Amino acid sequence: MAERDHPDVTDAELGVLQALWENGPSTIRQLTDHLYPKGGTSHYATVQKLLERLESKGCVARNRSSMTHVFAAGINREAFVGGQLRAVAERLCGGSIAPVLTHLLKTETLSEDDRKELRILLNASLPK
């Protein structure tokens, strides 16, 4: 991982990470076909550059054991999202996560399953 627990990634880099989270370890060609279904050589080079950047940030791991390198997410989605949310809370709310959660709860529609999951999490965090 990079020096921070919430590496900055561009939208394009995030697209590559999301493809790796959804599809698992992939080659550059597989990622290019997924991200740019009608893409050509320039798109392949773009994905290659994005993977290099993500690898330098510690977000992607490369398996070099065969001629065709395979890339995997080096950070799980939950850890990445958590780091990003902590950064938002620090930047906008003085480190408090409550305003972020309150806003989301007031402005977003939660499914019954989401509400159940939140209740379980809240109950588990109560002191015993």
For 16-26, what is each residue's pLDDT tens digit?
Answer: 999 999 999 99
| Residue 126: band (very low, low, confident or very high) from pLDDT cuts 50, 70, 90 | confident
Q: What is the pLDDT of residues 35-64, one digit of tens each?
A: 999 888 899 999 999 999 999 999 999 999
Q: Rounded to whole angstroms, how far apart are CA atoms 112 and 95?
A: 29
* Pair 104, 118: CB distance under 8 Å: no
Residues 6+ apart with CB under 8 A from 6: 80, 82, 83, 84, 86, 87
| Residue 77: band (very low, low, confident or very high) from pLDDT cuts 50, 70, 90 | very high
pTM (predicted TM-score): 0.79
